[in-house]
Amino acid sequence: MLLEAINPATGETIRTYPETTPAEVQARLHAANQAFSEWRRTDFADRADVMHQAARILRDRNNEFAALMALEMGKPIAEGRAEVEKCAWVCDYYGENAAAFLQPETIPTDASHSFVTYQPLGTVLAVMPWNFPFWQLFRFAAPALMAGNVGLLKHASNVPGCALVIEDIFRQAGFPDGVFSTLLVGSPRVPELIDDPLIKAVTLTGSVLAGQAVAARAGAVIKKTVLELGGSDPYVILEDADLESAVHTCVTSRLINSGQSCIAAKRFVVVDALRSQFEELFVAQMQTRKMGDPLEEDTVVGPQARHDLRDELHQQVQASLDQGARCLLGGQIPDGPGAYYPPTVLTDVKKGLPAYDEELFGPVAAIIPVPDEDEAIRVANDSNFGLGAAVFTANIEKGTRIAAHELEAGCCFVNAFVKSDPRLPFGGVKESGYGRELSHHGIREFVNIKTVYVA
């Protein structure tokens, strides 16, 4: 079987790749297991040296990697460069901090010496998505490898070139053979990988359905999982918000990665007092964002990653309009080649519509008008998802209270758009998943938190 990389801007096949055979999969699993027996015993300084080298390679080849993402999944090239730089940052961050994060912790008890130590688990299977084909992987790999684990990547089938070049980055950086490797396999082969006794844990970023399948399979064989799933992030716009600043932030967030981000703003919960002004400014700013060739520097919205995903998004928009939403901008598939979908604004969105209940994974904004602050918070939380959320208000004390105590999400921001940061834990609640990536919390997800008691 072949994996096919297709340029979503043109529909043309870039290259085909042979799928990793079952025999090759087993060879890589055993190589990873063998590499772990040595890698786990290396000291943090040696691990940091090669991790910093990976960061240098990322920076040196930034333009090359950004262009590869643009070709394989349509990411605007300026965003691709920023993604590669962020990957270098996370490599440097864990290279500098992993030793401190995993330092043994003495706990006074009635023992002569009792402490907690953090020991790696072994081979971690990473099932990764196409939307941030470098970042999603490096935010897993940097902490996991620095903790002494080894990684096995099953990347999305439409970004095989990215999957292979990431393996090459680690190899060129000096990581020993088997510490990180890529399997070019389709999703139907994931269950057998999870079942394999050489796999000790699984991390997945993807859809709710994929998360359910991986969690069920891993649970059946008692293996640790971390899941980062979908999101339908609400941005709450209160009456005292700085409207121009809020709209700029909301539009920027909605169009990140051409709208294909789990933590992009998706539902805009606006109090009635600001509704008409918000809609006018929002539409005006969405109109100014250029849609076009992802290799052009000024493109903000590239194609959707695949034609089937674009068509599914359009069906959600049409179903929402059929059920009472109004379209203020966009909403039509453009003529010509490529999986393009224009910046689109829906309003009068209500519960029961796809734009309210489902994740719209593309450049479509859903405006939900509400009478007041209390209803805004209720509507924001009225979702099966809980990845990110934001609130906009001039009252910082109130905004902080709402973010900290009222909004049901793993990442809540005040007067800013939701983003991941190596220094802060990242993850969701409800159907957005469980576990955390990044910060000191993330590096401890795939370790044995071991108690040692000396009488």
The residues carrying an active-site annotation are 228, 262
Task: List the Cα angle 347/350/353 in 5-degree steps.
Answer: 100
Query: Can you tell me the distance from the alpha carbon of 114 to that of 106, in angstroms, rounded to the nearest whole number?
Result: 6
Closest C-alpha among 307, 298, 299, 294 to residue 338: 307
Angle at 203 between CA 267 and CA 219, to 5 degrees: 105
Rounded to whole angstroms, how far apart are CA atoms 174 and 157?
27
Using alpha carbons, list the distances in angstroms from residue 290 to 85, 95, 183, 342, 362: 23, 38, 36, 9, 15
Cβ-contact 159, 136 below 8 angstroms: no
Asked whether 286 and 365 are in contact (CB, 8 A), the reply is yes
Q: Is 404 exposed, middle or buried (0-12, 13-18, 19+ CB in 10 A)?
A: exposed
The neighbouring-strand residues paired with 233 are 265
Cα separation, 440 vs 16, in Å, equals 39
The answer to whether the beta carbons of residues 142 and 148 sit under 8 Å apart is no
- Among 283, 30, 333, 291, which residue's Cα sits nearest to residue 152? 30
Structure tokens at 60: 């040196």
Question: Could you tell me what percentage of the chain is helix, strand and coil, using 3-state DSSP and rounding each to the nearest 5?
Answer: 45, 20, 35
Residue length of the chain? 455
d(CA 357, CA 362): 15
* Alpha helices, H only, 358-449: 373-381, 396-401, 439-443
- The two tokens of residue 65 are 């990697």
What does the DSSP 8-state code read for residue 121? -
